[in-house]
């Protein structure tokens, strides 16, 4: 089954404790992206990647890191989480070319206390 998986689905952590949210897709997509969703703010893009070893900042990259060492994986790293990073996070992937849609993961709900 074609899918985007994220882990963990739920995470509660404390300020300053490094964490990684994994994202993996099995569709051989070149394009991958991370978003955060907050009430009243819609989806905001954090980082995206057009292919292996190619990443770029989205609209809200501060406090986040990513890497793309393999085509299927695109982990999101919070090196020193803060309470304002409490949010719902989505990973997505897509083929290149503007006619292709994104496929979204199920989301990771992160709470930073």
Binders of other proteins in range 3-42 (CB under 8 A):
4, 31, 33, 40-42
DSSP-derived letter for residue 110 is E
Interface with other proteins includes 102 (CB under 8 A)?
yes
Q: Which pair of tokens denotes residue 17?
A: 């404790």
Centroid of chain to Cα 41: 17
Residue 72 is encoded by which pair of tokens?
């299927």
> Given candidates 34, 48, 64, 74, which one binds other proteins under the rule CB under 8 A?
48
Report the relative pairing of strands 87-94 and 103-104 from DSSP bridges: antiparallel
Angstrom distance (rounded) from CA 79 to CA 34? 16
Q: Is 52 in the site for other proteins (CB under 8 A)?
A: no
Q: Taking CB under 8 A as the rule, does residue 101 contact other proteins?
A: yes
Q: How far is the CB of 54 from other proteins (least distance, A)?
A: 11
Q: Which of 13, 20, 22, 43 is close enough to bind other proteins by CB under 8 A?
A: 43
């Amino acid at each position: 089954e074609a899918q985007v998986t994220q882990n963990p689905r739920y995470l509660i952590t404390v300020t300053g404790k490094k964490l990684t949210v994994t994202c993996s897709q099995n569709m051989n997509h070149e394009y991958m992206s991370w978003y955060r969703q907050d009430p009243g703010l819609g989806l905001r893009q954090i980082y995206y990647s057009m292919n292996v070893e190619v990443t770029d900042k989205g609209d809200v990259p501060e406090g986040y890191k990513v890497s793309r060492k393999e085509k299927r994986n695109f982990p999101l790293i919070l090196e020193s989480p803060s309470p304002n990073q409490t949010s719902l996070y989505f990973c997505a992937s897509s083929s290149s070319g503007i006619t292709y849609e994104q496929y979204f993961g199920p989301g990771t709900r992160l709470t930073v206390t």
